[in-house]
Amino acid sequence: MEVKTVRTNWADRELNQNTHIIIIGNKCIIVDAGASLEDIMPIIGNREVEAILITHAHYDHIWHIESYDTTFSCPIYMHEKADIFLKNPEYNLSKYFGANKTFNLNNVHYIKGKENLNIAGVNIQPIYTPGHSEDSMCYLFEDGTLFSGDTIFARAVGRTDLITGNPNRLIASLGLLMKLDFNEIYTGHLRSTNKQEQEKNVSVWIRYIKANLLKKHFDYNK
């Protein structure tokens, strides 16, 4: 299993999203759909795309999903709560970037509750991690590689001030994640990281989020 990352270069928006391509022999799996087909095809070559895993349906992570859908005709996995994000530009945030985009997909497979996947012979555990958004998912591969979307970054965690964001749920999701066994973490933005590095950081971030919640709680003018 080899992971290649294509980072989108939307310089005007300062949103450099990571689209990951996991190569398993002559097959591959794509995590998120921020990068254009043109940018991912040189990596995919003539490999079969077996599935697309979406970490959450914020527009920077699904911008090119419709072209993936028609080109690859493979299942697109996302959490069932992503449905409204696809249909509503306010939820997928495209509204705030002047696009007002809705996404119509033929091959969506909504993940409801606990469901383990086996794709290209690899076991994958989808983990529901709401907090950054209500539809946030992480995907844990059997070799201990975690795809964390916008839940965890190198030395940071996801923001919770966007629609359906929730600091308490993010704290719970981080707690759940850190109990699991994994090594490398491929994130939705910025560089990749690993569990060892995050073990030092996540507790600091949880304290920071809690302190901020406390501050807000006592600031009656806000």
Look up residue 116 and give its two tokens: 């383990």
Q: From the list 6, 34, 49, 58, which residue makes contact with Zn ion (rule: CB under 5 A)?
A: 58
- Contact window for Zn ion (CB under 5 A) among 32-40, 56-64, 72-80, 123-131: 56-64
Task: Tell me if 134 contacts Zn ion by CB under 5 A.
Answer: no
> Which CB, 58 or 79, lies closer to Zn ion?
58
Q: Should residue 135 be labelled a site residue for Zn ion when binding is judged by CB under 5 A?
A: no
Of residues 120 and 171, the one with the C-beta less far from Zn ion? 171
CB of residue 81 to Zn ion, shortest distance in Å: 13
* 131 contact partners, CB below 8 Å, separation of at least 6: 151, 158, 160, 165, 166, 167, 168, 169, 170, 171, 172, 173, 174
Residues 137-196 that bind Zn ion (CB under 5 A): 150
CB of 58 to Zn ion, least distance (A): 3
For residue 94, give the amino acid letter.
S
> Where on the chain is the footprint of Zn ion (CB under 5 A)?
58, 150
